[in-house]
């Protein structure tokens, strides 16, 4: 093997290692919360929308949503949520349900239609921070 071929192989190996380490660092960093307010809306294929602090986790298959809130009809909420000015809907924090869930959800990406980052002046963010 000539010196020129050896240099090309070493250079290619260095490029491959740099790309692999960059991908590894990116996959670790993408676990951070997103959005100017830190809150996101997650729209699921069953029509439900959840709000909270969104992180990627467990590879590319799952999302983690913490400080979870969702809309519920005012009758079903029975005064446990924040009124957003809509007479029929209340924003309810996850965790007070009969089955006693934690305030965190793990969501399979296959069921996510899309996500949106919420601005600090969003009515939902303002209600959460109250």
* pLDDT for residue 22: 56
Greatest alpha-carbon span in the chain: 80
Mean local confidence (pLDDT), 43-70: 88
Does 114 score more than 50 pLDDT?
A: yes
In CATH, the number for domain 40-129 is 2.30.30.100
Q: How many CA atoms lie within 13 A of 114 on its CB side?
A: 2
Give Cα separations from 71 to 8, 16, 47, 76 (angstroms): 59, 47, 11, 10
Please state the length of the chain: 130
Asked if 38 and 129 count as a contact pair (C-beta separation under 8 A), the reply is no
* pLDDT for residue 36: 60
* pLDDT for residue 24: 47
Please give the share of the chain, as a percent, with pLDDT higher than 90. Answer: 30
Does 112 score more than 50 pLDDT?
A: yes
Mean local confidence (pLDDT), 92-99: 80
Does 99 score more than 70 pLDDT?
A: yes
Asked if 21 and 33 count as a contact pair (C-beta separation under 8 A), the reply is no
Mean local confidence (pLDDT), 5-20: 71
Mean local confidence (pLDDT), 40-56: 93
Task: Please indicate whether residue 35 or residue 128 has the higher confidence score (pLDDT).
Answer: 128
């Amino acid at each position: 093997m000539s010196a020129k071929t050896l240099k090309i192989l070493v250079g290619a190996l260095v490029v491959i290692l740099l790309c692999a380490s960059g991908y590894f660092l990116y996959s670790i960093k993408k676990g951070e919360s997103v959005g100017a307010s830190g809150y996101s809306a997650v729209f699921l294929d069953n029509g439900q929308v959840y709000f909270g602090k969104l992180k990627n986790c467990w590879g590319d298959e799952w999302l983690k949503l913490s400080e979870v809130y969702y809309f519920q009809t005012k009758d079903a909420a029975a005064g446990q949520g924040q009124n957003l000015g809509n007479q029929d809907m209340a924003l309810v924090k996850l965790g007070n349900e009969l089955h006693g869930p934690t305030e965190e959800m793990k969501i399979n990406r296959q069921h996510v239609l899309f996500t949106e980052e919420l601005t600090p002046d969003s009515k939902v963010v303002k209600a959460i921070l109250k």
